[in-house]
Structure 1
Amino acid sequence: MNSAPLLSVEKVRKAFGGLVAVNDVDFTVKQSELIGLIGPNGSGKTTMMNLISGALKPTSGTVRLAGEVISDMPAHRIAQRGVARTFQLVRILPSLSAIENVIAGAVFGHVRAWGDDAYREAEVLLERVGLGGRGNVPTGSMTYIDQKRLELARALASNPRLLLLDEWLAGLNPSELKIGIELIRDLREDGRTIIMVEHVMDAIRSLCDRCVVMSSGVKIADGSVHDVLSQPEVVSAYLGTEDA
């Protein structure tokens, strides 16, 4: 079995003028590993997801996928290399039906499918995320939760090597949250490699192999979920100190 990491983030920095949003962060992700990227609001988590997916370019440092430098590629090339994502604020194609949105992921992503093959795969994925039989529904008439499910199906349609989930569980009610956690667990059991930015600690504890914790753009912890969440620096970052 290849022990080399699937993803390597190496001294990555992103500055917006005088604001350093990500400050020389390092971490790796192994094949089939589910990593929780956590931290308080404003810690740089979504910026990091944008750097990995190509939505932003690093000011310095390197991101590698299976040893290949991807941090100098445009987002669509990174997607073709096998990185797919969902967004903190849902991004769907509003002029297309649900099944056409998923087919778009199959056509333009990592493992491409066309015609009837793409249509059948889209039907399977819609069923998997809880939208079975709703392929012809206009996306504009869908609830926010169903749009999030649709976005996940579209991300999966390219059979990505690395799936980035940016607060995918946010806004779900308790019953939807339970279903969402089980869906992510199923993806993990499929052998998917996943980085999830999440504030739902029950999901982090039950799903993740490891956590990377950021605070004010800096990585402050990296390790097993239990060990990381018990570190005083991590507790302080989330809850503040008595003097704060």
Structure 2
Amino acid sequence: MDCRPTGKRLIGAPPARKQPVDATGSRGHGRNDASPAALTRARALRDGNARNLRTATVAGTSMDPTFKPGSSILVEARSATAEEDRGDVVVLRSPEEGCEDDLLTKRVVGLERDWLYARDGRLVRVPTAHVWVEGDNASNSNDSTHYGAVPRDKLVGTAVAKVWPPAEAGPVADRHEECEARVIPAEEARRLRSRKTETGETLRIALRASRDAMQEYVGWTPPEDKASGRPAGA
């Protein structure tokens, strides 16, 4: 299967360096003027568990402007007890058939049992043990809008910091409030679904009445429904 090129791919973790590398790429030898990228990584390693942190390089534009092609990020491996929050940037295995080995970088917009409007206007509910993920670049992202909610067991880590380019080194913005605003209260979602159902039933009744009128006054006979053998719309 030809996978869509819009997803973010994390290209392996480079081997750990024994010495810091400054912004020019040369190895440091007792220097104190560490680059912002090196400092960011050092702080992350100090504050977290170094065994659970990996460096990875981003490809593609689906997370632009947060990450651009070539950005290096620190990814914290997901633990068995990890809980995602709305706004987190996560690394996940592609849920699409034939693309399971692809690693994507997306933002969590909805958690399990959340109601929200997808970018294409659909009202959706996130199933249990799933998350709704989207790229920050709405115009060029293959995400839950296309393949639906993603099982949580597809998540492999959380992006905690950007380490390259040096000018952009620092923590990853979580956009928590922005994603919270996308979630619709359950009571309101049920009301919206009920209204949609009532509208659909009204249209079906009108279509049946129109069909019956045509059959009675014009002598028109509706075509049979191939599946049931009954007149279409009956």
| Shorter-chain TM-score above 0.5 | no
Which protein shows a greater Rg? 2
Query: What is the TM-score when the length of structure 2 is the normalising length?
Result: 0.25
Query: What is the TM-score when the length of structure 1 is the normalising length?
Result: 0.25
Comparing both structures, which one devotes a greater share of its residues to helix?
Answer: 1
